Amino acid sequence: MDIQLEKKRGLRPKHYGYIALGVLVLFTGWKLLFANSVSTYRTEKERLSIAQVTEGKFDDYITINGSVAPIATIYMDAYEGGRVSEKLIEEGTMVKKGDIILKLENMGLYEQILASESNLALKQNDLRSTKLTFDSRQVEGKRSLATAEYDLQRLKRNYEQNEALYNDELVSKEVYLLAKENYELSKKQHDIVKLQTVQDDELRETSLTGLDADLQRMRKTLSMVYERLDHLNVRAPADGQLGFLDAEIGQSIAQGQRIGQVNVLTDFKIEAEIDEHYIDRVKRDLSATLERNEKEFGLRLRKVYPEVRNGRFKVDLVFTDEKPATIRAGQSYNIKLQLGASNDALLLPKGGFFQSTGGQWVFVVGTNGDEALKRNIRIGKQNSRYYEVLEGLEKGERVITSNYDSFGTAERIILK
Q: Cα dist. 53→77, 113, 389, 396 in Å?
A: 59, 81, 9, 5
Chain segment 357-402, per-residue pLDDT in tens: 988 999 999 988 899 999 999 998 888 789 999 999 999 999 999 9
Are 310 and 330 found together in one domain?
Answer: yes
- 136 located within any domain: yes
Q: Does the structure show a pLDDT above 50 at 140?
A: yes
- 331 located within any domain: yes
Are 316 and 366 found together in one domain?
Answer: no
Last-in-domain residue among 313, 338, 363? 338
pLDDT at position 360, please? 93
- 91 located within any domain: no
Last-in-domain residue among 215, 230, 245? 230
Section 317-336 average pLDDT: 88
Q: Does the structure show a pLDDT above 80 at 14?
A: no
Last-in-domain residue among 317, 338, 359? 338
- Which of 100, 108, 90, 99 is closest to 248 using CA atoms? 90
Are 307 and 359 found together in one domain?
Answer: no
Starting from the edge strand earliest in sequence, which strands make up the sheet with 233-235, in order? 233-235, 100-105, 82-87, 252-253
pLDDT at position 72, please? 85
CATH number of the CATH domain containing 385: 2.40.420.20
Are 330 and 348 found together in one domain?
Answer: no
pLDDT at position 4, please? 52
Are 181 and 115 found together in one domain?
Answer: yes
Total domains in the fold of the chain:
3
Are 211 and 283 found together in one domain?
Answer: no
Are 65 and 53 found together in one domain?
Answer: no
- 256 located within any domain: no
- Which of 276, 247, 141 is closest to 199 using CA atoms? 141
Predicted confidence band at 229 (pLDDT cuts at 50, 70, 90)?
confident
Count CA within 13 A, CB hemisphere, residue 19.
6
Are 129 and 223 found together in one domain?
Answer: yes
- 137 located within any domain: yes
Starting from the edge strand earliest in sequence, which strands make up the sheet with 343-349, in order? 54-58, 343-349, 386-391, 378-382
Section 164-183 average pLDDT: 88
pLDDT at position 244, please? 83
Section 30-51 average pLDDT: 75
- Residues 336-361 as b/e (b if ≥16 CB within 10 A, e otherwise) read bbbbeeeeebbbbeebebbebbebeb
Predicted confidence band at 25 (pLDDT cuts at 50, 70, 90)?
low
pTM of the shown model: 0.51
Q: In this predicted structure, which of 121-135, 140-154, 251-265 has the lowest mean pLDDT? A: 121-135
Are 283 and 381 found together in one domain?
Answer: no
CATH number of the CATH domain containing 272: 2.40.30.170
Q: In this predicted structure, which of 29-33, 105-109, 148-152, 308-312 has the lowest mean pLDDT? A: 29-33
Are 164 and 216 found together in one domain?
Answer: yes
Section 139-166 average pLDDT: 88
- 99 located within any domain: no
Q: In this predicted structure, which of 11-25, 227-241, 242-256 has the lowest mean pLDDT? A: 11-25
Instruction: Tell me the residue range of the domain where 364 lies.
Output: 40-58+343-415
Chain segment 80-125, per-residue pLDDT in tens: 889 999 999 988 889 999 999 999 998 888 888 788 778 877 877 7
- 30 located within any domain: no
Are 188 and 167 found together in one domain?
Answer: yes
pLDDT at position 26, please? 66
pLDDT at position 34, please? 46
In single-letter form, the type of residue at position 347 comes to L
Are 149 and 173 found together in one domain?
Answer: yes
- 381 located within any domain: yes
